[in-house]
Each structure stands twice: as C-alpha cells, then as structure tokens.
Amino acid sequence: MKRKLIAVMIVMMCCGSLAGCGKTATSDTNLSAETTKQEEAKQEETKPAEVAQEVITQGEENAAETAQAEGAVIVASADADEKSGTEEAQHRLLTTDEYQDIADRLRMTDPVNPAEAELLSQMADLVTFSKVINEEGVVFSRMENDKRAVIRRHILDAVAWDESAFAQAIRMERGEGRYDADVIFPVEDAEALFRDIYGETRFTPAQYERVEDGYVCLSFGDGEPWHIVEHMQFFQDDDYYLLTGPAFYEDNGGCISLLGCADILFARNPDSRYGVTLIYGRYRDARIAVSSVETSSALPASGSKSYTGMNLIDDDYATVWAEGVPGTGVGETITLHLDSAQPVYGILICNGYTANYDLYSKNGMLTDVEVDFGNGRHAEGHNLEGYGFENASSQDLADMNRSRIELEAPVVTDTITITITGAKKGTKYEDTCVSEIWVYGPGK
C-alpha cells in the first residue's frame, strides 16, 4: 500500500514537472505574463504534491496502524500457539528439574478437592496407562515420537469408546455421539486433541499409527499391561494442578508391582477445551522403611538358610520367612515396625517361596490374611495365592505372586500386624512361606 502511494506521488509530481517545462518554451515579449503563469502553474503544481504527501502521510499512518494490527494479530496468534502447545510455550520452557521443584512445592501445600478432579484423573490415566512415566521425570510434549504415539492411541481409544468427561467434551463440540470406529478422526480433530491434552506441537505419525485419506485410524492393544494410580490427592496454585498417589503396574495375568508415587502435573490452559494441559510426570519412591520385624514363630535355620522375619524386608526374592508351627500356620502373626509414625496406604505381599519353581511348588503359601494397621484400622486380603510355571525365574515368580491389601483412606501408624487366616500346603511341605512385604504411603 505504501509503495503504491509513493508511486502515485512520483507520477503526479512528474506530470506537474512536465507541464512546467512545457510552459518555459515562450518568447521574451511575454516573459512577464509567462512568469505569472509559471507562478500560477507552480501553485497548481504544489497542490497535487501536497495532496500526494497528505495521502502518503495518511497511508503511512494507515500502514502503521495496519502493521500494528497485524503485529498484534501475530503476537496474539503466537500467544495462542504458546498456550495451546508450541515448543515456545512458557510452561514448556522449564526444565525437568524445574517441574520437579514445582511438584515438590505443591505437595507441601494443603490438598484440595477441585471441581475438575474427575477430568484431571481421567486425563492422568492417559499417561499412566501409556506407561511413559519414569523415576527421572518426563515432559510429555518432548518425548520421543514413538512414546507420544502410545499416548495418542489411548487418547483416540478413550474418546471413541469411553464415557469419561474429557471424552464427552469433543463429542459435544462436534454435536455427535461416538466416532465411526473404522475411520475415527479427521487429522485436524486428532491434532487439536493431542495439542489440547498433552501439548503435541507437530503430529508426525509413528510406525504403527495409520493415517489414510486425511483420517487417523484406530489401532488396538488388547491385553496390554497398565499403570494405575490409587488414593489420588490434588494440589493447585494459580498456574498448575498436581495429581499424586501410589501407582501400580498390573496386567491381565495378575502380575502386580509398586511403581512408586506418581506426580502428574497440569498447566492451566484457557485455550485448551479442557482448561488444562498435561505437561509432566514422574514416579517417586512410595515405599516406607521397615526398621524391624517380629514374628510369632519361624522355621529353624537349615544349614546356611534362615527363615527369620527379617527376610521379609531384604529385597531378595530367594529368601523367605516360614512359620514354625505344625500345620499351615493359621493364626501366626507378622509385626512390622516402621521407622516412625507416618501415613500408610497399604502393604504389598510377595507370597510363597519364590526362589525357584521347585521350592515354590513344594512349599505352602498364604490364601487369606487380616491386617491391623493400627489406630483401629483393619483390612482383609483374600485369594492371595498366585501361580508359577516351570523354568520361571525368581523375578517372574515374585511378579505373579504379589497381592495388594490397603485401606480406603491412609492411617498414621508405626506398627502393622498381619495375621494368617488361611493358607494352603505345598506338594511336599506344609510350611507357609512369604518372600517379601512392602509398606507404601504418599511417598518421599
């Protein structure tokens, strides 16, 4: 626009100059009259120049205003991009350590019960089910693409089939019910979801992601293991939400293990349809130290092997506590003394003699227990027997024979007593054996 106005001015000025040059080719006898005419011509000549200059000035002002407006649009667009998931977004410029510091700070505040609790927990399930969190901490938008692809699959599966709050949000937005399971999502819908939920900036299909004719197609992973978070607590400030709670690995075969205490951090994001974006997750140590173990009985040592209660807290699946009374040990007790009184959610029992399959099958194991967590709080565990197979490693046997026994709400305690209320003998011995017991709480 500005260049056009300058060109108009130049043309108009040139036209005026040419007119003036033409009038100077006159005789001397008419010099006075010509001079007058030249002065008049000059006056006329200046008018278009003044007009042009006025136009230019106005044009420059308009151009400046336009540039300013365009700049504002660009800035606003950049701001929107930042909030909705670009790498330049402020909440993604932080380091993993800084996110950890934010999570630690929030955990020191009082827990809250936000109105968004259901939505936050459902969104947290996406990253825990995807098994992408670790002890080092993960910024979801910065992960390798194959790991982001796992989250993306869980997002599409959930929105296609779940009745969760976050799944309903996009259906309501589209004015539709379920998506077509054969075609599922237009790419632009999928990209918007990934950006809103975990800050995806550039959707690049991974090896097993199918994009055809502008649609992202579903892929299924039936029977996969999953991570779940229990006893969720929420913390918040003006910029973030934190969801935290003990996390477990489980699969369809019954294997279970304690992963730690999950911290899942959300940034408030008004440009996301959910009002938040998942940004960071980690596992902290959720195990509580046990200082000593008392048992009502123990099998006498045999050679170099001992069967004392301290074998329950040595992190060695090849050593066990074995009760030392006739029969299967119903009524015998194990008492765990913690380092100090502290919040406890529950215990994880690794049942049986898990050193190898031969010892596992020959010896007895727990079937039922009652747990006194102290302060009048009790819980029961039933059907605790696991399973094993020939050539299974000690680790495999431990994974297949863990059971979780917990309270609905944590209790502050320093002593936990486990009473055997049911047991079954092995193929050769009646001795009931237990390999390990872990106590877990809100984490360190």
pLDDT in tens, 9-46: 333 333 333 333 333 333 333 333 443 444 444 444 44
Residues near 43 by Cβ (< 8 Å), separated by ≥ 6? none
**Residue 247: both structure tokens together:** 């996390």
Residue 20, φ and ψ in degrees, nearest 5: -65, -45
* Residue 71: per-residue pLDDT: 35
Of 233, 229, 232, 437, the C-alpha closest to 338 is 437
* Residue 331: per-residue pLDDT: 98
**Residue 184: both structure tokens together:** 């599922």
**Residue 316: both structure tokens together:** 């060695």
Reported pTM: 0.73
* Residue 157: per-residue pLDDT: 81
* Residue 217: per-residue pLDDT: 82
Residues near 391 by Cβ (< 8 Å), separated by ≥ 6? 357
- Give the model confidence (pLDDT) of 212-222 as tens digits: 888 888 766 55
* Residue 167: per-residue pLDDT: 65
Angle between helices 31-84 and 2-23 (to 10 degrees): 170
* Residue 281: per-residue pLDDT: 96
Tell me the sheet residues that pair with 350: 402, 436
* Residue 154: per-residue pLDDT: 87
Measured distance CA(134)–CA(127) in Å, rounded: 11
Longest dimension (CA), the chain: 147
Q: Are the beta carbons of 248 and 228 closer than 8 angstroms?
A: yes
* Residue 189: per-residue pLDDT: 86
> pLDDT under 70 in the chain at which residues?
1-93, 162-184, 219-226
**Residue 252: both structure tokens together:** 């369809």
